[in-house]
Structure 1
Amino acid sequence: MEFNQLNKLLHTLETLTTTLPTRDQIDEKYKWNLKDVYESDELWEKDFQWTSNNLIRYSEFRGKLADSASSLLGCLKLDEEIGIKLERLALYAMLAKDSDMRISKYHAMDDKIKNLYARALSESSFIKPEILSIDENILKIWLEENSELKVYEHYIDDILREKPHTLDSNTESILALSTEIAHVPYNTYSIFTNAEMKFPYVKDENGNEIQMSHGRYYAAMYSKDRAFRESAFKAYLTPYKEYVNSLNSLFTGNLKSNIFYAKVRKYKSAREAALSKNNIPLSVYDNLVDAVNENFAPMYRWAKLKKELLGVDKLHPYDIYVTLFDQKYEKKYSYDEAVNIVLNSLEIMGDDYINSLNKAFSERWIDVYETAGKRSGAYSSGTTYGVHPYVMLNWTNLLNDVFTLAHEMGHNMHSYYTGQSQPFHYANYSIFLAEVASTFNESLLLEYLIKNSNSKEEKLHLLERYLNNITSTFYRQVMFAEFEQTVYEKTEAGESLTPEQLCNLYSSLFQKYWGPEMHVDEEESFTWARVPHFYYNFYVFQYATGMAASETLAHKVKTEGEVAVVRYIEFLKAGNSDYPINVLKKAGVDMNSPEPVLSVTRKMNSILDELESLL
C-alpha cells in the first residue's frame, strides 16, 4: 500500500472512531445519575474498606449457629448487612465501567469488588451447612418464637429442601474444587467457536467476496437475496460439519459432567438437579414439551404461508427470518417519541405502574445514547437493595430500539417493585421469572403499534414481527428443550451419542416443529453443535415458559381489567419471597397446565388471521 493511501485509510479510521460523541456532549437528562448509588468515588472506597474490614466478623458466628436463635439471627443480619454493601459497591463499579470502558480506574474497581465478593463467599460458606445441621424441630420452634427470625422462614425452608442433596463438608469441598474442571468443555467450545474457527468466503448480494462470521450469518439470514442466504447458510455451518467429532466430544463431555454432579448429589437425573435450584417440578418441563407437541398447527400454518408468499416450492431453514414484505418505509423513532409510545402502550397497567415508569424516565435511571467508549448492547441492572435499578441503551432510532426500551423497562419495573417490597434476602427473582415482565411489556407494545399503525404495510411488518417472536422465543426454544432432554436421557441410559445420532435427532425435531412445508437441508442437522445454550444445563425452556406466562398475563389484564393488573403488580413485588411456580400461580398462571401454551398458540392463530385478512 502506498504512503498516501495508508494516510487516507488512517484518517478514515480516525474519523470513524471519533464520530461518536463523548459523554460530556450528551444532555444530562439522557445519562444515568450514579450519584443515587454513591456521591463520589471516595465514598465508594470508604464503603469498600468498611466491607473488607468487617468480613472478619463472620468468625464470631462460625460453629455457633446451632447455639441459639439469637446467634442464628445475628449471623443472618450480618450476612445481610455485608450483602447490601457488596451489591451497592458492585452496581456502582459496573455502571461506571460500562459508561466509558476506556477508563482503567473503573475496571480496577470492578475487579476489586469481584475479589471482595469471592472473599465474602468464602468467609460465609459455613452458614448453610450449619443451618442444615440444626434439628428441624428446633428450627421450627425458633421461627415461631422469634418474630425477627420468622422473616427468614422461606429462606431457611429453601435451604432445608436441598438437605437430601447436600453432602458432608469434605465432599462438598472436593466438588467445589472440581467446578473449574467441569467448565472446561464450555470454555473450550467458546474459545474454539468464537476465536479459532475459520469460516469460508462467500459472495454477498453485490458480488463482493466476504468471509462468513457469526454476525454476518445473522445479517445474511435477513437478506432478500435467496441465493446469498443459501450460500451464507451453507458456508456458516461448514466448519461445524468439518469439526463435528471434536464438537461432539465437548458436547458429550458437558453432558457427562452435569450427570456426574447430579448422581453425586443423589438426584434421579441431571434435569431434576437443574430444575431443583428453583424448585421447578419436572412436570412443568414435561407439560411444556407435551402441550407444544399437540399444538404444531399454527407453526405449520405459518410455514405454509411463508412458502406461498416467498413463491418457493419448498421452505428451507435459510428462509425462516427473511421479511416477506417490502422494506422501503423504514420508520425512525427518537428516544423521546419512543418513551411516549411505551407509556401509551402500557396505559392499561394503571397509575401506579405508569407513575413508576415516569419516575425512571425523569430521574435519570436510563443511559440512552451511544458514546465513545460506552459498552455496547442493552441491559437492566437488576435489583440492588436500597437503590433503584438502572437501564443501559445504545439508541439508534430504529423500531428495535423501541422494543428494547419496553423490554428493559419491564425488567426495570420488576426489579423496582421487588426492591421496594421485599427485605434484602428476598429482593431478587429467579431466571424462571426474569423474562416474564420483559416480554409482557413487548406484547402490549406490539399490540399497541399494530392497532395504531398508519398503513397496511406497517401493520404487515408488525404482524410478521409478532409471528417471528413466537417462532424464535417459543417454538424454537421448546424444540431445543426437547433435544436437550432427549440427549441427557440417552446418555444417562448408557448410550454413547455419535455425531450422526445427534444430527439425526436434531434434524428430525426441526422437521417435526416446522412441518411438511419445510425441507431440512443437511447443514441444518449440525445446528446442535453451534448452540451455546446447550452448555447451560436445562436453561432454554425458561424462554418459552416466560413467554407463555407473559402472554397469559397480558390476556388477563386485557380481559379482566383492574383485578388482573393488581395481581400482576403483586407478581412484580414478590421477588424470591416464594418459589417461582407459586409466584406465577398467585398471578393467575398455572405452569403445570397446558393453558399458558394454548395462550401462545391462540395468539399466533389470531395474528395469522389478521395478517391473511390484509393480503
Structure 2
Amino acid sequence: MQAQSNGELPTRNDIPKELTWNVEDIYKTLKLWENDFKWVEDAEKKYAEFKGKLSVLPDNLYSCLKFDEEVGIKLSQLYLYASLSRDLDLNNAENQGRYDRVSNLGSKIGAASSFIIPELLTIPEEKLWDFVDKKVELKIYKHQLEDILRTKAHTLTPKEEELMALAGPVRGVPSNVFGMFNNADIQFPTVKDEKGNEIKISHGRYGAAMFSTDRDYRKRVYKGMYKPFMEYKNTLVAMFNGNIKSYIFNAKARDYKSTRTASLDANNIPLEVYDNLVNTVNENFAPLHRWAKLKKKILKLKELHPYDTYVTLFPAVKKEYDYEVSKEILLKALKPLGEDYLNSLQLAFNNRWIDVHETKGKRSGAYSSGVSYGVHPYVLLNWTDQLNDVFTFAHEMGHNMHSYYTEKNQPYPYANYSIFVAEVASTANEALLLDYLIANAKTKEEKLALIEKQLTGITTTFYRQTRFAEYEQLVHEKTENGEALTPEVLCDLYGKMYGKYWGPEMIVDEEETYTWTRVPHFYYNFYVYQYATSYAASQELVVQIKKEGQPAIDRFLNFLKAGSSQYPIDVLKTAGVDMTSPKPILAVVNKMNELLDQLEELLAE
C-alpha cells in the first residue's frame, strides 16, 4: 500500500475508503463550514456588547461566558475540519487557504474576548461567588473561576498586561533565533556512510546513525553533528542565556519567586512534584548504570561512549506488521483496560477516525487531533508495516481515547486536559503493548529485541528527560543568583551531570558536554520534566490495573473522563497516582530492573 508499481506514492483515490478519514462527521458540506465561519466572523463584533457589564448582574456574566462557549465550539470545529483537510494534501491551495482563514479568525476572536478575564478579576470575590449562588447556571464554571482567581496575584493592571503582551515577541527572539539556526542556517559537514559514500549530516540522519551497528560510522556522524554547535558556541550561549533572562523578566514582573515557580504555576503543579522526580531519580541511577555495563559487555567494547548508547544490540530481528493484524494486536494487548475501552477502540476502528496510509502530499508523522467539542477525535498515521508503526498506533490511540472520553463526559469548559497528563494514556498503551508482545514473542531473538526497545524507551523518555530537567533547573537558578554562564561553565555542568547519570562505564566525550547548545526543549521553559512524570504515572497505573483489575480500570477510565474538571495533579491522585510521592518514579526503576533481569536470563540460556 505504500507505493504504486511505478514507485510513486498512492493518491487519495488509491486508498480504500475505510482506511481514510471521514471529515464529513464534522461538516457534511463546505457550505455548512462557510455558514459557521460567517457566524463566528459576525460574533467577533458581539463581544463588545458584554464589555464593562460583567460585574453588573449575574445574568450578564453567564450570558458572556455562554456566548464565548458557543463561539469556542464552532471555532474548534472550523479549525479541526480545515486542519485535517490541509494535512491530507499539503499541496492543495484551497485547503491551505481555509486553514489560514480560520487561524486568522481565531486570532481576531482571541483579541475580541481578551477583556473577559481581566474584567472578571475586577469583580470582588464575595460578589462573584454571590453571583454563582444566585445564578444556578454559573455553578458549572466554579472550578474555572477558582483557577482564574488563583492567578490574580500574578495578573497585572490592564496597562501593564498590555506592555507584557507587547514585550512577548521580543522575549521570544532567543527561541526564534535558535529555531532558525537549528533548522535552517546550520551547516553540517559531510562524512562517509556505512558503504563509503559521502553524505551530508542532518538531524534525521544523526538519529538514524545512532542505531547503526557500524561503530566507526556512528562515531563519524556523532562528532560531525556537534562540530557546528561547538564552532558557534559563543552565539549559542547568547541565545541560551537570553532565553533564560526572558523568563526571569516574566517571573519578576509577575511577582513569582523563580522561573520554575512561574512555569509550574500555570497548571497549579507543586514544586515538590519536580523535586520528587529529580531527587528520586538521583537516588536510583543503578538500573541505568547496570544497562551501561551490560551494553558494553554485549557490544564487546573496551570503552563505552555516548555514540554507543542507542545502537541496536539485536539487529537480526526483522518482522512486518500489517495494519489489520495490528488492530487485532492492540485489542488483545489493551484487554486489561476492560470492555468499555475496547468497545471505544472498535468505534474508532470501524468509523473512519483513522487515516492510515501515506499518500501524495499527506503530512508526515502521526498525531491525534485532540478534543474538539461535539466531534470525535481523529488519528493520522503513515503506515510502513514496521514495529514502530504498531507502537505509534498504540500511542496515538491512547491520546485519541483520552480525548474521546473527555469530550463525551465533560461540559465545554473542562473538555480539555493539561500537558502534565497528556502523555499518560498514550504511554500506558505502549507499556501494555510491549508487555503483550514480549509475553507472546515466538523466538528468543524477538523477545530480546522487544526488551531492548523498552529499555531504550526508559533511557530516553525517563532518565534523559529527567537529566534535562535537572540541568534546566540548575542553569536557571545559577542565572537567577547572578552567576555568569559561559560556554565553559555550561559544558562543565552538563558533562558532570551526563557522567553522573550514566555512571562509571561511560566515557563522556567533549562533544557530549555541548548538548546544551542543541536541545530545543531548553527553550520551552520547564517543559521536559513532564515527559518523565507522565511516563512514571503511566507505569504506576499499568501496575495497578494488572494487580487490582476492575477497581483500577474504573479509576483509569475516570482519569480519561476527567478532562480539566480538577487540577491535573488531583486528576492523577484520583486515578491512584500521587506524583509528589516517590512511588510512581520507583515503578519505572523497578520495571527497568525487571527487564534487565529478563535480558540477562535470556542471554545466559
State TM-score, norm by structure 2. Answer: 0.98
1:178 CA drift (Å) = 1.1
- Does residue 1:421 correspond to 2:425, yes or no? no
Q: How does 1:2-21 map to 2 (within 5 A)?
A: 19-21=8-10
**Mapping 1:193-208, distance limit 5 Å:** 193-208=182-197
- Cα shift readout 1:249-280 (whole Å, capped 9, x = no counterpart): 00100000011011000000000101011000
Question: Which of 511, 524, 528 is equivalent to 1:523?
Answer: 511
CA offsets, 1:399-439, max 9 Å, x none?
00000000000000000000000011100001000000000
Q: Which residue of 2 aligns with 1:267?
A: 256
Counterparts of 1:296-445 in structure 2 under 5 Å? 296-325=285-314, 327-445=315-433
The corresponding residue for 2:568 is 580
Q: 2:69 aligns with which of 70, 76, 80?
A: 80
In structure 2, the residue matched to 1:557 is 545
On the 8 A contact 1:287/1:592 being kept in 2, the answer is yes
Post-superposition Cα deviations, 1:273-300, rounded to whole Å, max 9, x if no partner, equal 0101100011100110000000111111
1:145, distance to aligned residue in structure 2 (A): 2.9
Partner of 1:154: 143
Q: Is the deviation greater in 498-507 or in 51-60?
A: 51-60
Cα offsets for 1:519-561 (capped at 9, x unmatched): 0000110111100000000000000000000000000000010
Shift of 1:93: 0.1
**CA distance in 1: counterparts of 2:5 and 2:290, whole angstroms:** 46
In structure 2, what is the equivalent of residue 163 of structure 1? 152
Separation of aligned partners in 2, 1:67 and 1:425: 23
Does the Cα contact within 8 Å between 1:310 and 1:324 map onto a contact in 2?
yes
Amino acid at match of 1:262: A
Gaps of 5+ in 2: none
Q: Deviations 1:321-358 (Å, cap 9, x if unpaired)?
A: 10112x23310011000000011000111111000000
**Residue type of the alignment partner of 2:354:** I
Match of 2:493 in 1: 505
Contact 1:298 1:604 in 2 (8 A): yes
Separation (CA, whole Å) in 2 of partners of 1:110 and 1:568? 35
Matched-pair contact (CA < 8 Å) for 1:378–1:392: yes
Name the amino acid aligned to 1:512. Answer: K
What's the counterpart of residue 111 of structure 1? 100
Look up the SS of the partner of 2:423 in the other structure: helix
Report the Cα distance in structure 2 between the residues aligned to 1:487 and 1:328, rounded to whole angstroms. 43
Check if 1:544 corresponds to 2:537: no
Q: Unaligned regions of 5+ residues in structure 1, if any? A: 1-13
CA contact 1:349–1:565 (8 Å) conserved in 2 = yes
Going from structure 1 to structure 2, the CA distance change for 1:355 and 1:172 (only over 3 Å counts) comes to same
Deviation at 1:16, TM superposition (A): 11
Change (3 A) 1:515 1:417: same
Counterparts of 1:488 and 1:104 in 2: how far apart (Å)? 44
The farther-off stretch of 133-142 and 533-542 is 133-142
- Alignment partner of 1:210: what SS? strand
| CA distance in structure 2 between the aligned counterparts of 1:124 and 1:194, rounded to whole angstroms | 35
Q: Counterpart of 2:57?
A: 68
What is the Cα deviation at residue 193 of structure 1? 1.5
Alignment CA distance shift 1:16-1:516 (3 Å): farther
CA distance in 2, matches of 1:201, 1:18: 28
CA distance in 1, matches of 2:460, 2:153: 38
Out of 222, 225, 231, which is 1:242 matched to?
231
Secondary structure of the structure 2 residue equivalent to 1:67: coil
Distance 1:402 1:213 in 2: 26
**Secondary structure of the residue that 1:394 maps to in structure 2?**
coil
User: Which amino acid is the alignment partner of residue 415 of structure 1?
Assistant: S
In structure 1, the residue matched to 2:111 is 122
Structure 1 residue matching 2:381: 3-state secondary structure: strand
Q: Tell me how far 1:192 sits from its aligned partner.
A: 1.0
How far apart are the structure 1 equivalents of 2:80 and 2:5? 31
Deviation at 1:146, TM superposition (A): 2.1
Equivalent position of 1:257 in the other structure: 246
Aligned mates of 1:193, 1:439 — CA distance in 2:
28
| Preserved contact between residue 484 and residue 534 of structure 1 (Cα < 8 Å) | yes
Partner of 2:45: 56
Are positions 1:94 and 2:107 aligned together?
Answer: no
Is the counterpart of residue 568 in structure 1 residue 563 in structure 2? Answer: no
Contact 2:398 2:425 in 1 (8 A): yes
Cα distance in 2 for residues equivalent to 1:186 and 1:422? 35
Aligned CA RMSD, in angstroms, stands at 1.1
Distance 1:67 1:277 in 2: 29
- Distance, in Å, in 2 between the alignment partners of 1:312 and 1:200 is 27
Is contact 1:154-1:577 (8 Å) kept?
A: yes
Letter in structure 2 aligned against 1:80: E
Kept after mapping to 2: 8 A contact 1:18/1:372: no
Work out whether residues 358 and 381 of structure 2, in 8 Å CA contact, stay in contact via their aligned partners in 1: yes
Contact 2:55 2:61 in 1 (8 A): yes
Residues in 2 aligned to 1:108 and 1:497: alpha-carbon distance in whole angstroms:
45
Aligned to 2:121, the other structure's residue is in SS state: helix
Letter in 2 for 1:597: I
Instruction: State how 1:458-497 maps to structure 2 within 5 Å.
Output: 458-497=446-485
Q: Distance in 2 between matches of 1:133 and 1:297?
A: 53
Measured against aligned partners, the alpha-carbon deviations of 1:39-87 in whole angstroms (never above 9, x if no partner) come to 1111111100011012211111100100011110010000000000000
SS at match of 1:152: helix
CA deviation vs aligned residue, 1:351-395 (integer Å, no higher than 9, x gap): 110000000000000000000110100000000000000000000
Which residue identity does 1:475 align to in structure 2?
Y
Contact 2:210 2:310 in 1 (8 A): yes
Contact map agreement 2:4 2:10 (CA 8 A) in 1: no
In 2, Cα distance between the equivalents of 1:479 and 1:521? 17
CA distance in 2, matches of 1:15, 1:252: 50
CA distance in 2, matches of 1:479, 1:73: 46
Tell me the alpha carbon deviations over residues 440-467 of structure 1, each in whole angstroms, 9 at most, x when there is no partner.
Answer: 0000000000000000000000000010
Match of 1:24 in 2: 13
Aligned counterpart in structure 1 of residue 265 of structure 2, from 264, 271, 276? 276
Letter in 2 for 1:589: V
Structure 1: 4+ residue segments shifted above 2 A: 14-18
Instruction: Tell me how far apart the structure 1 counterparts of residues 439 and 171 of structure 2 sit (CA, whole Å).
Output: 50
Aligned-residue identity in percent: 57
Query: For residues 369 and 450 of structure 1, what CA distance do their matches in structure 2 show?
Result: 27
Alignment check: 8 A CA contact 1:166 1:265 kept: yes
Aligned AA (1:107): Q
Q: Residue type matched to 2:548 in 1?
A: E
